[in-house]
Amino acid sequence: MKVAFFSTKSYDISSFEKHNTGNHEIIFYESTLNTKTAKLTQGCDAVCAFVNDHLHERTIKLLSEYDVKLIAMRCAGFNNVDLKAAATENIKVVRVPAYSPMAVAEHASALILTLNRKTHKAYNRVREGNFSLERLTGFDLYKKTVGVVGTGKIGQYFIKIMKGYGCNVIAYDLYPNDAVKALGVSYVSMDELLEQSDIISLHCPLTEDTHHLIGKEAFSKMKKGAMLINTSRGALIDTVEAVEALKNKTLEYFGIDVYEQEEKLFFRDLSENIIMDDVISRLISFPNVLITSHQGFLTHEALDKIAEVTLGNLTAFETEEHLENEVAI
């Protein structure tokens, strides 16, 4: 199959070239897939896209005009794909449902530890010859209440990490999981989770129902001085309201690996540019905010799994086998 890969970086190229045995002809593009770049798919059987590619109705119609038959997402999320438009154009959509839940869960725990113990600040101080411990005081995670929103594979692994620290873990999910209950975790309502949690970590997909799940109302119910972590999807949080919660100190710590308007920022080197996004500029100015640019998935093991599953999805489509990872409407 001839496949156009969009939004590719050096690590994507390395991992896919490593695992592609020569069955597929891959053309790598650094540009985002949208209505302007869709023309690059001419002559291709499939496209491979990532989290910030624009697979809206108009883009999908263009792909169909260029005779593209498959959209292969090399990630778990597919909220940026218009599934109805894809079905109308008879374009199949596949994804990588689970590449390394450990990678994302571990990154969430890293955000917690860094925000709490301020190791990033200590690192910079020592490099400048400043060995003072002033304003570096953290808190014990032991016996703190951690609220986990979403108890799928990533959420479950994150729970195990937090239980390892001796935390009291509570959870919210529309579909409670017996395996999570077996870990000694209690399912509670969303309101109870907000009110009781010292740390809240989001591990749920972005849907119409979860868009701005954490907004003005949720912040008003949150325990004063709480920590909020998001390694899932940026739009789970109303970021403007998060800024207000930081200003009034309802939110004492804020760690995000995803951002509602990340598309024009993340995965790019903008160090010589003026950041035109006032909201993220405001967030960066807070000393108790930690932002990483969607790197939770970025481990060698996860990249290998993403490549293996994506290439497997392409091969299954080409050989007309059952598409185990197809996304249905």
Q: Which residues are catalytic?
A: 233, 262, 294
Q: 3-state SS string over 204-263?
A: CCCCCCCCCCECHHHHHHCCCCEEEEECCCHHHECHHHHHHHHHCCCEEEEEECCCCCHH
- Beta-carbon contacts of 212 under 8 Å, excluding residues fewer than 6 positions away, are 235, 236, 237, 238
Among residues 203, 200, 202, the alpha carbon closest in space to that of 167 is found at 200
Element (H, E) at 90: none
The torsion angle over the Cα atoms of residues 109, 110, 112 and 113, rounded to 10 degrees, is: 120
Give Cα separations from 278 to 76, 261, 290 (angstroms): 29, 11, 16
